[in-house]
Structure 1
Amino acid sequence: MVNLKQLCKNSELAAEYKKKLVTADEAVKVVKSGDRVHYGLFCGIVRDLDQALAKRTEELQNVLVCDTIWAYDEIPAILKADPDSKHFKYLSTHMSGLDRKMNKEGRCWFIPVQFRENPKLWAENVGDIDVAMLQVSPMDRFGHFNFGPQTAEYWGIFAAAKKIIVEVNENQPVVHGVQNSIHISQVDMIVEGSNGKLPNLIAKPASETEKKIAGHIVERIRSGSTLQLGIGGMPNYVGSMISESDINDLSVHTEMFVDAYVNLYNEGKITGNKNTNKGKMVFTFAMGSQAVYDFLDDNPMGYMAPVDYVNALEVIAANDNFVSINSCLQVDLFGQVNSESAGLQHIGGTGGQLDFVMGAFKSNGGQSFLCTPSVRINKDGSKESLIVPRLPEGSIVSAPRSASHYIVTEFGAANMKGKSTWERSELLISIAHPEFQDELIKEAEKMGIWKNSSKICY
C-alpha cells in the first residue's frame, strides 16, 4: 500500500495515515442500527468493508445500504448473510443484471433518479448519510486518494456524510480530471483492502441485427463529431465500423467510458478537437475490460468529471455535431421510448439517456439515436414486436415523444422530429418487422392516428 518512507518529508502526513489506518472489522463498528450507509459507485464499491459489515448482521436492524450498480459477480455479502432482508435494506440508483435479479426476488429496491441530479439528491434530499464507504487508489505523496474510474456523484454523497471510510485498492487506476480524489484530511478511516480486481464488463459480440442497426447510424455520422456511446455489442460495433470508414477527427463526451473509445483512439480516430474540454476524453465513470482501466491509468487525455457537469444539457449541446447512441426496450407509435422495464418487471434506470437525447439535439448538427431490434424472440420461439401501439402497463417512459429524435431498428432509422402523429406512426411502422406492420396499422386506426384525414396533412 502506501510507502511511508516516501512520506518522510512530510512526517505529519505519515502520522495522520498511521492514525487513521484500521482494519475493515474495526471500521464498520461505526455503523449503527437505523443508519444509512453508502457503499460507493460502479468499480469503486467496497468489498472488504461489505464482508466485514456482514459479520455484524445479527447485531443490526434496519440499515439502509445504497450504491450505484453492483458490478461484481456475486451478490453483496450483507445479502448473503441476510437473505430475507431483515437487517439490511439494499437500494440502488441504477440496475446491473445482478441488481435486477435481486430486485425480482424482493432483495433490492430501486431509487428512480435523473442521473445528473444525483449530487444534489444525496447532498440535499435524502437526509444524512451516516457512513460513506468507497474504494480508492493508494494515497499519493500529497495526501490524495484517487477515486479510480468513477466520480459521478461522490461529492454530493460526501456533503451528506457524517463519516467517510476509504478502502484502498492497488488495482484502482489513477484517473485524471476534476473532483476525482479526496484528501486524507477529509477521511475518517483508512482500510487497506485485499486488492481485488476491478469488475470487467465485457460486451457480447454484435448480433447480425445489431450490425444492421449500427450500419443505419454510421452512415449518418460525420467527421468532427463528438460521440456518446452506451454499453453493448451494437455500440462497440459502431466503433468498429467507424474504424473502417473515412470518418475521423472525433471527440468523446460520454457518461460511460467503454472499450469502443479505446479502440477508436488506437485506430487514430479520436483527436478531442471539440468545443468544450478540447483535447480531452470526457466521462463520469468507466466500465469495460481491463484494457479500459489500463488506458485511463495516469492518461492525461482522460478527463473524469462529476455527472452534473458531464450530463448537463448545455455542456453536451456546446459541442457541435454531437452524436448520442443508446439502446431502448420498446417504442410506441407516438414515439415514446421505454428503456427501463418489461411491463412490470424492472430492467434498468433512466441514467443519462434523456439528457443525451435532448442535449445532442440541441447541439449544432447534433443527432441522437435510440436503438432496438424490431422484435424479441421469446422462449417458445415466438416473435414479439418491440414497436408497439401503446406501451404495456407498467412500462416507464424514459424519453417522451417530444424528445425522441432518431428511432432505429434493423429496418431503418426514423426521424421523429417535426413529425405529426400520423407521420410518426407511419415511419415507425415502416421500421417495424414486416410480420407486424399490418397489425400495427390496424391498431393505429383504432387509436385514431391512422385516418384519411390525417394522411391528407402528410
Structure 2
Amino acid sequence: MSSERILDSRLRERVVSAAEAADLIQPGETVAMSGFTGSGYPKQVPLALAERIDRYHQAGQPFQIRLLTGASTAPELDGVLAKVDGIALRLPFQADPDARKRINDGRLEYMDTHLSHVAQHTWFGFYGDIDTAVIEVSSIRADGSLVPATSVGNNKTWLDLARKVIIEVNEWQPRDVEGMHDVYYGTALPPHRKPIPLVNPNDRIGETALRCDPDKIVAVVRTDAADRNSPFNPPDAASEQIAAYLIEFLQREVSRGRLPAQLLPLQSGVGNIPNAVLAGLAASGFRDLTAYTEVIQDGMLDLLRDGTLKHASCTGFALSPEANEEFKRNLDFYRSRIVMRTQEISNHPEIIRRLGCICMNGMIEADLYGNVNSTHVMGSRIQNGIGGSGDFARNGYLSIFLSPSTAKQGSISALVPMVSHVDHTEHDVSIIVTEQGLADLRGLSPKQRARLLIERCTHPDYRDLLADYYDRALHHSYGRHTPHLLAEALSWHQRWLDTGSMQPGG
C-alpha cells in the first residue's frame, strides 16, 4: 500500500498490524468506533480484536468492551464482536443479525438513543470515559489532520475525548473524497452554547478534516477493504403505490401554497420505499430540490445526476455496489453537490426546525391515534433502533411515516388499536402512508385521526376489525377523548404470538 495516504512522518512511524493495534484495547474498556450505516467503519482492527477476545474466552478469561459508534456498521465490526460475545453494551443503533439476536436473548445490553444525543451525552459524561477510539480515514495530511472517509458520524467527539486513538487508513476509500466534509468545531457545552450558523442545506461552516492530538494516536493501521454495500431491491408494487400517494400529496401542498415549488429540504430514511419516493419526485417534474438528511442512498445520487436535486447534506452514505462505483467515477461532480457533516450537526434539532425539513421515515406499526412504533416487534423484540427518525420527526416541518399496511404475508397489521411500543407520539406525527392511502393527521383530534386512519391506511382484511374495536371503545372506554378498551388494546399482538396471525381464527 502506498504511503501517500499517510503524509505525516510522525504517524507513518506508528504503522502497525491490526493485531498489534487490537492488543492495545483492554478488557472492560469503552471503545468508540467510526461508522454510519455501513460506511466509514474500521475494517481490520475489530476483526483482530474479535480474534483476541475469542482467545481470552477459550482460555476461560473474561473480555468484553462497551461499544459506541455513529449508527449501524457491518458484519466486520458488530457481527464479529457479537459472535464472540465481546460486547457488554452497545449504543446507539445497530442492524446486525448476530448482535440483534444477543440483544433479544438478553445477553447483550443495548441502549437505543436518538442519534443527535450521542455526542452531547458523551460530552456530558453520561456514558463514562472513552478509553479508545478506532477511526477509519481516507488519508492523513502532512499536518496530522485526518481526512474522513465515507462517513463522519461521531468521529469528532470520539477523537476529542478518547484517551488513546487507533487510526485505520483505508486505501479503498476514494482519495478524492477530500474536500467533501464539513467538520464544525463551534459547539460548546451549556451554558456557553451559541447558535449554529447554518441556514441553508449546502452551507459550509467548518473544516474539511478532523483534528486529533498526535500524541494520542498510538497506532496506525493500513487497510484496503470495501464498505459494506447492500444492494437495494427494485421497488415493489406497494412501495410504488406509497410513493404515488406521497408525491400527489406534496403536489397538492404546492398548489395550495403551503410548500414552495422546490419543496423544503428532504430527509429520507434508508430502504426501498424511500428510494421509490425519490424516484417518484424525479418522474413528477420536481426540480431544484435540496436534502438535509443523515444518509445519501442510491435514489439521491440519481436525483443529483438528473438535476432534480441541487445539493444534499448528510453524515454518511448507504450505497449499493453499483451506486458506489458511480459515486467513485464521478466524484468531482458529487463533491460540489454533497456536504458530509458531523452527526451532531446533520441531526441537530435546531437546524432541522430552522430549515423546515420534510421528514420521511419507516415504521413497524401505528395505532388509531397516530402513535408510531419504529423499533420493536411485538413490543419487546428490538429490530434496529430509533436512529435519527426522532430527531427529524419532532422537529421537521412535516413528519411522514411510511409502511406497507401488512407484514409477514398479511398476518400482521401495521395499523393496530394500540402500538406495542412508542417511539414517536401522536404529537410528532403529521402524515401516515400505506399502499392503501394517505392520512393527513394535521389539525385533527384523536377521534378524527382514528376515523381517517381506519378509512385511508388500514388493509381491507383488518379495516372492519379496527373499526369494530374503535366503535366499541367509543361507548365503553374510561374516557371519550382517546377511546381505548384496555383489556383488548394489545390483544392483536397477543393473538399473533399465540396463533401466528392478528386475524381472529388465524
The question of a shared fold, defined as TM-score above 0.5 by the shorter chain, is answered with yes
In percent, how many aligned pairs have the same letter?
24
Counterparts in 2 of 1:27-106, with a 5 A limit?
27-42=21-36, 43-57=39-53, 58-59=55-56, 61-66=62-67, 67=69, 68-72=71-75, 76-80=79-83, 82=84, 85=85, 88-89=87-88, 91-98=90-97, 99-106=99-106
> Are the aligned partners of 1:21 and 1:189 in contact in 2 as well (CA < 8 Å)?
no
Q: What are the superposed Cα offsets for residues 142-184 of structure 1, whole Å, 9 maximum, x if unpaired?
A: 4332221211222222333110110111122325122263346
One-letter amino acid matched to 1:38:
A
> Are the aligned partners of 1:95 and 1:348 in contact in 2 as well (CA < 8 Å)?
yes
TM-fit CA distance, 1:117: 0.8
Of 305, 324, 332 in structure 2, the residue corresponding to residue 266 of structure 1 is 305
1:326 lines up with 2:361 in the alignment: yes
Relative to structure 1, the CA distance from residue 201 to residue 449 in structure 2 (aligned partners, 3 Å threshold; closer, same or farther) is: farther
> Are the aligned partners of 2:358 and 2:399 in contact in 1 as well (CA < 8 Å)?
yes
1:317 lines up with 2:353 in the alignment: yes
One-letter amino acid matched to 2:360:
I
Aligned match of 1:140: 141
Tell me the secondary structure at the aligned position of residue 22 of structure 1.
coil
In 1, the alpha carbon distance for the partners of 2:475 and 2:231 equals 42
> Are the aligned partners of 1:312 and 1:355 in contact in 2 as well (CA < 8 Å)?
yes
> Are the aligned partners of 1:63 and 1:88 in contact in 2 as well (CA < 8 Å)?
yes
TM-fit CA distance, 1:303: 0.9
Tell me the secondary structure at the aligned position of residue 219 of structure 1.
helix
TM-fit CA distance, 1:443: 1.1
Aligned match of 1:181: 209
> Are the aligned partners of 1:2 and 1:138 in contact in 2 as well (CA < 8 Å)?
no
Counterparts in 2 of 1:241-260, with a 5 A limit?
241-260=280-299
TM-fit CA distance, 1:24: 1.8
Q: Tell me which moved more, 53-62 or 196-205.
A: 53-62
TM-fit CA distance, 1:319: 2.6
Counterparts in 2 of 1:343-382, with a 5 A limit?
343=378, 344-361=380-397, 367-378=398-409, 382=410
In 1, the alpha carbon distance for the partners of 2:418 and 2:300 equals 36
> Are the aligned partners of 1:116 and 1:311 in contact in 2 as well (CA < 8 Å)?
yes
1:422 lines up with 2:422 in the alignment: no
How many correspondences in the alignment? Answer: 424
In 2, the alpha carbon distance for the partners of 1:454 and 1:345 equals 32
In 2, the alpha carbon distance for the partners of 1:197 and 1:162 equals 28
Counterparts in 2 of 1:183-222, with a 5 A limit?
183=211, 185-186=213-214, 187-221=216-250, 222=254
One-letter amino acid matched to 1:71:
A
In 2, the alpha carbon distance for the partners of 1:204 and 1:211 equals 12
> Are the aligned partners of 2:112 and 2:385 in contact in 1 as well (CA < 8 Å)?
yes
TM-fit CA distance, 1:423: 0.3
Relative to structure 1, the CA distance from residue 6 to residue 386 in structure 2 (aligned partners, 3 Å threshold; closer, same or farther) is: closer
> Are the aligned partners of 1:376 and 1:384 in contact in 2 as well (CA < 8 Å)?
yes
> Are the aligned partners of 2:348 and 2:391 in contact in 1 as well (CA < 8 Å)?
yes
Q: What are the superposed Cα offsets for residues 399-434 of structure 1, whole Å, 9 maximum, x if unpaired?
A: 101111001111211111221111011001012112
> Are the aligned partners of 2:243 and 2:277 in contact in 1 as well (CA < 8 Å)?
yes
Aligned match of 1:383: 411
RMSD: 2.7
Counterparts in 2 of 1:153-172, with a 5 A limit?
153-172=154-173
In 2, the alpha carbon distance for the partners of 1:159 and 1:134 equals 12
Tell me the secondary structure at the aligned position of residue 352 of structure 2.
helix
One-letter amino acid matched to 2:26:
K
Aligned match of 2:466: 440
Runs (4 or more) in structure 1 with deviation over 6 Å come to none
Aligned match of 1:122: 122
Tell me the secondary structure at the aligned position of residue 191 of structure 1.
strand
Q: Tell me which moved more, 138-147 or 326-335.
A: 138-147
TM-fit CA distance, 1:97: 4.3
Aligned match of 1:10: none
1:17 lines up with 2:7 in the alignment: no
> Are the aligned partners of 2:172 and 2:226 in contact in 1 as well (CA < 8 Å)?
yes
One-letter amino acid matched to 1:384:
I
Q: What are the superposed Cα offsets for residues 367-398 of structure 1, whole Å, 9 maximum, x if unpaired?
A: 331011111234xxx53221101113xx2x11
1:287 lines up with 2:318 in the alignment: yes
One-letter amino acid matched to 2:383:
I
> Are the aligned partners of 1:333 and 1:389 in contact in 2 as well (CA < 8 Å)?
yes
> Are the aligned partners of 2:270 and 2:297 in contact in 1 as well (CA < 8 Å)?
yes
Give unmatched runs, 5+ long, in structure 1: 8-12, 273-280, 362-366
Question: TM-score with structure 2 length normalisation?
Answer: 0.77
Tell me the secondary structure at the aligned position of residue 20 of structure 1.
coil
Relative to structure 1, the CA distance from residue 208 to residue 439 in structure 2 (aligned partners, 3 Å threshold; closer, same or farther) is: same
Give unmatched runs, 5+ long, in structure 2: 184-207, 255-260, 482-506
In 1, the alpha carbon distance for the partners of 2:212 and 2:157 equals 18
